[in-house]
């Protein structure tokens, strides 16, 4: 199911031409979803998985912060910052 979703998303995005800003927005949305998933998984983790999800949350949060910073620096988003 995950693979089918990946193929569907990638084939759809390959058909339409994306601007760099829409790619950045899509990356931010995907990273936010990954962060939510990691937080949800952390709630039900036990044993060694607790450490795994903590690291995953920290890494994904760092990526999310970087992408938001990058978006704020871009011309399109500068009027919203």
Tokens 């994904």 locate to 60
The larger pLDDT score, comparing residue 27 to residue 22, is at: 27
The larger pLDDT score, comparing residue 58 to residue 17, is at: 58
Measured distance CA(25)–CA(43) in Å, rounded: 27
What percentage of the chain carries pLDDT values higher than 90? 54
Model confidence over 3-13: pLDDT tens digits?
565 556 666 55
Closest CA to 51 of 61, 65, 41: 41
Model confidence over 39-49: pLDDT tens digits?
999 999 999 89
Structure tokens at 67: 């992408």
| Whether pLDDT at 24 is above 70 | yes
Q: What is the pTM of this model?
A: 0.67
Nearest-5° Cα angle at 74, 9 to 24 = 10
pLDDT, position 74: 83
Tokens 């990273």 locate to 31
């Amino acid at each position: 199911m995950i693979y089918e979703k990946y193929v569907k998303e990638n084939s759809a995005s390959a058909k339409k031409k994306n601007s760099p800003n829409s790619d950045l927005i899509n990356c931010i949305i995907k990273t936010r979803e990954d962060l939510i998933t990691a937080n949800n998984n952390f709630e039900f983790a036990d044993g060694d998985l607790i450490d795994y999800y903590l690291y995953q949350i920290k890494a994904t949060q760092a990526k999310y912060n970087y992408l938001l910073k990058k978006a704020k620096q871009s011309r399109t988003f500068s009027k919203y910052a």
